[in-house]
Amino acid sequence: MSLNSAQKLEIAHQLDKLGADIIEAGFPVSSESDKESIKSISNAGLDAVVCGLARVLKNDINACFESDVGLVHTFVPTSDVQRIYTIKKSQEEVIQLAVEAVQYIKDHGLQCMFSAMDATRTDPGYLIDVFKAVQEVGCDIINVPDTVGIMVPSAMYRQIKDIASEITIPIDVHCHNDFGLAVANSLMAVEAGASQVQVTINGIGERAGNADLSQTVMSLKAIYGIKTNIKTEYLVETSKMVENYTGIRLPPNTPVVGQNAFSHESGIHSQGVLEKSDTFEPGIMTPEMVGHRRRIVLGKHTGKHAVKQSLESAGIITNDKQLDEIVYRIKEIANKGKQITDVDLYAVASAVLGKASSEEELIKLKEVSVMTGNILTPTAVVKADIDGKEVIAARVGVGPVDAALNAVRDILGEYNHFKLQEFRIDAITGGADALADVYIGLENEKGRIVTARSANPDIVMASVEALVNAMNLLYKNKEKS
């Protein structure tokens, strides 16, 4: 994942709008371009404190100074495995490096956060010694990182509780999500005495990521009743921005900000939610609180109540028979594995509402069969009731759709006085399983033109149904005149 300077600055402005207290803008020593990017964020006039990351090395810390940050976050490995195999230092040398780095930052008048990297795998007694040493030289905040995500919530609670009993400066935590416990561990840390939590938008971070901002904030707000400075109505907006810039797409079932977070399909669920949202939602967290919207998702479990509500919200009014047919078609499409979108629903509704009523139909379609292939001439067989009589016709064509439409014309016999004026096929919502929306304009011998449409996952069936709909409408208009 790589972001350019303009994107980083825009995200920083969005985080400031969201109400983030501290924005860790990057690692200035890593490159000149990163340093300049961090400097532009530092000088953007944000309300948030801009932080730069640095190892316990003067060169790293100087790069933070040159980036104009207001807070330097310096870190050093403290666990045996990292201390021995990455920096090859003794415990005493690590404490000395940490103290010197904090003193150097404080001597330059900046706030300092010190992080004992891999704290959760560090000997607890030694970890307290390190934290006490940096506290004595003026460190402002200590950070306890679960660097490889191995903590469980109960252990996280005990560790932070023990540290809080020995340390008087604010405790910050940084949890990784290797076992899916980053948010839970962060919440337990707050319960135990931590006053700051490091989070990321959409949980993005090394390996399996870090504690997700929206999940952590909404848990604190809605479940614990803890106030933060985050303006939660911008959570979805912020998530979408980061998703678009990084190209890392969220699963639909992502809590709080995911597409399905406030979506309901089941007939019982959707009817309950439409009556009172608390029936199948937390209640203490609403879509409006996070900048989301409630969605009634249509599928094979959908009931009439949900379909009617969705149609009426778009200004589409149906009678009971029309609603029954729309629900039937929606379920038929969903049973083929197609995800129903609002556009699909409106296409199906338009097709059904554009039909003649069953009592007025000259043609009642019963069966359509098509054979086609690279060594077969496309052939279609259509069976229908024409004015109460069963008629079968078979025709060939230049393709399966052409063959099927030719067969439909043949079954009309003496009624076949129509001319096809317009034929258009659109793929609704895209994808291999897209709904085919066929629009047809038909003219009779007196020049009267009607238009009709049909929507079906099967392009041949959509074409045949649209033509039959148009023919029935012409017949209906002829009878009325």
Element (H, E) at 415: none
User: Is residue 353 pLDDT above 60, yes or no?
Assistant: yes
Q: What pLDDT does 131 receive?
A: 98
Residue-range domain boundaries for the chain: 5-246, 263-353, 358-480
In this prediction, residue 85 has a pLDDT band, given cuts at 50, 70 and 90, of very high
pLDDT reading at 479 higher than 60:
no
- The answer to whether residue 480 scores a pLDDT higher than 60 is no
Rounded-to-integer distance, Cα 347 and Cα 369, Å: 24
Query: What is the rounded CA–CA span in Å between residue 171 and residue 186?
Result: 12
Average pLDDT, the chain: 89
Helix (H, G, I), strand (E, B) or coil at 465: helix
What average pLDDT does the segment 407-428 reach? Answer: 80
CA pseudo-torsion sign 84, 90, 95, 99: negative
User: Which pLDDT tens digit goes with each residue over 100-130?
Assistant: 999 999 999 999 999 999 999 999 999 999 9
Q: What's the confidence (pLDDT) of residue 278?
A: 78
Give the pLDDT confidence score for residue 300 in this predicted structure.
77
Check residue 415 and give its pLDDT. 66
Cα–Cα distance for residue pair 361/277, rounded to 1 Å: 42
Length of the chain: 481
The pLDDT score that the predictor gives to residue 330 is 84
Residue 49 CB-density burial (10 A; 0-12 exposed, 13-18 middle, 19+ buried): middle
Q: What is the pLDDT of residues 304-342, one digit of tens each?
A: 887 887 788 767 889 999 999 998 888 887 887 766 766
Q: Are 441 and 455 in contact (CB under 8 A)?
A: no
5-246 is classed in which CATH architecture?
Alpha-Beta Barrel (3.20)
**pLDDT, average across residues 351-376:** 80
Please state, in angstroms and rounded to a whole number, the distance separating the CA atoms of residues 225 and 421. 65
Q: Which pLDDT tens digit goes with each residue over 365-404? A: 899 999 998 888 999 999 998 878 899 999 999 999 999 9
The answer as to CATH 3.30.450.20 being correct for domain 358-480 is no
pLDDT at 267: 60
Kindly indicate whether the domain formed by 263-353 is annotated with CATH number 1.10.3470: no
| pLDDT recorded at residue 263 | 79
179 strand-pairing partners: none
- The DSSP code sequence of 222-241 is IIS----S--GGGHHHHHHH
* CB-count exposure of residue 261 (10 Å: 0-12, 13-18, 19+): buried
pLDDT digit string, tens, across residues 428-455: 666 666 778 888 888 877 777 777 778 8
For residue range 10-61, what is the model confidence (pLDDT) as tens digits? 999 999 999 999 999 999 999 999 999 999 999 999 999 999 999 999 999 9
pLDDT of residue 478: 60
| Residue 212 DSSP symbol | B
3-state secondary structure 59-93: HHHHHHHHCCCCEEEEEEECCHHHHHHHHCCCHHH
Question: How many CA atoms, within 13 angstroms, populate the side-chain half-sphere of residue 349?
Answer: 21
- Which residues lie below 8 Å from residue 150, measured CB to CB, with a gap of 6+? 120, 121, 178, 179
Read off the pLDDT of residues 261-295 as tens digits, 9 standing for 90 and up.
Answer: 887 765 666 667 666 777 777 889 999 999 998 77
What number is the average pLDDT over the span 143-171?
98
